[in-house]
Amino acid sequence: MQIIDFSFQELAAGTPPLPLALTPNAETLLTSIFLRIASISNSIELSSSVAWRAQQPSTDTPKLIFRLRRSSLNGPVVFQTTDSVFLGITEPDETSGVPYDCTTDFISTESPDAPMVGTFQQYFLTVELAGSSTATITGPINLTGRVIGTD
């Protein structure tokens, strides 16, 4: 068993297009990587860290849905998880609240289907802001992938 492939993309905070204000209920591409799949017995491990900021006034609690998709931006969702932060409520005489900076980490592994063997597969990291809240992707954004198994 060996590491067949290793690939990553990382955007530091402040690197264009960061910071990126999110549009509610729209799925936004953050980054993507390619990984080589050598065998049906390979394991494809994807790990990610994304830093984001939420701030009142907001009419809702921000919920960020992070997805990993394969092959295209409309391709199958191979992993999905949600993160959120409680911001409290904004009193009528308040114009802004304290910004909350959050970091979301996750890891996912999948086994390839037969058609993926012998190909370079592209994996996309996306984020969707659920509801009517506001949030900003501040960065850093990291997406790392490795393929483990036999060549």
Part of the chain binding other proteins (CB under 8 A), chosen from 12-20, 26-34, 105-113, 136-144? 105-113
Say whether residue 89 binds other proteins (CB under 8 A).
yes
In angstroms, the Cα distances linking 110 to 40, 78, 117, 146 are 11, 7, 13, 11
Q: What's phi and psi for 97, nearest 5 deg?
A: -105, -170
CA angle, corner 103, sides to 33 and 112, nearest 5? 30
Among 61, 71, 119, 122, binds other proteins (CB under 8 A): 61
**DSSP-derived secondary structure for 5-33:** EEEEEEE-TTSTT-SEEPPBT-EEEEEEE
Q: Which is nearer to other proteins, 47 or 71 (CB)?
A: 47
> Is residue 1 within the footprint of other proteins (CB under 8 A)?
yes
| Nearer to other proteins among residue 9 and residue 43 (C-beta) | 43
The identity of residue 126, as a single letter, is: T
What does the block give as tokens for 149?
């198994």
Q: Which of 108, 119, 122, 144 binds other proteins (CB under 8 A)?
A: 108
**Is residue 43 at the binding interface for other proteins, with CB under 8 A as the rule?**
yes
Q: Is 116 helix (H, G, I), strand (E, B) or coil?
A: helix
- 45 forms part of the interface with other proteins (CB under 8 A): yes
Positions in the binding site for other proteins (CB under 8 A): 1-3, 43, 45, 47, 60-61, 63, 66, 79-86, 88-89, 104-110, 148-149
